[in-house]
Structure 1
């Protein structure tokens, strides 16, 4: 059976990254977008990353253009926006699909291990978040409306 650590993803800079490199870390995986009502959550995500990175938290941002075409830019435009507008320093990845036939293997796994309301595996919108423990097990799925700060107790428990 495929685990999270068996999956590779392309970084926003075009490098292939093995998610196994994050073994032993607590992960918060988020599908992000630059032109969404939830985009200001980048600030909260960055604050969490700065606060808990030394304790083993890694936030992984995966841009996605599947919801209202709210991530239309290229990887370089996305990287520039995140850096300039929010000072994002956590790892960002290349734009992916999170739903449908072309959904990235990581999201297929996350959705299967932590379905949403009524057992639905579909991602409903940008800034859906998944908390993954140090062993690669998906602990919890959070709605886009859940602010990064509201996840702090769960993150602390997972660390």
Structure 2
């Protein structure tokens, strides 16, 4: 009996499609397959499904709130979003301030280090200059020692030649 009713509904739907200018054969894949009758009734009834061609198709899930209620809900939702945005903006500004403070402290540390080095620099330069002067004096002394040694070698060579003659 349910299969007969469903077949009638399919025929009526096909006629409506023909009137609308659509080919009913090409839209068969959208329609449900005919259900054979069983002892327990329609298969769709067992699963609690509703067919697309059900005779009593009541619209469920309609929001029956008044427009004022909907507007109030929207206002509450927007207010909650604004509060979240304000919290996020506040957190971002706090993070930016922390970063600035860290950068300032590292910059101050660098400046202190550079200042300490600059205080030590004149002492280091003085030590370097005195070392260079000592090296130059030492170079002069070394040159004198080399000259003295060369003169002694000449004397020894001359003495060595003189002893060979005797």
Q: TM-score range by the shorter chain?
A: under 0.3
Q: Which has a greater percent of strand?
A: 1
Normalising by the residue count of structure 1, what TM-score does the alignment of the two structures yield?
Answer: 0.21
Q: TM-score, normalized by length of structure 2?
A: 0.20
The structure showing larger relative contact order (alpha-carbon pairs under 8 Å, at least 6 residues apart) is 1
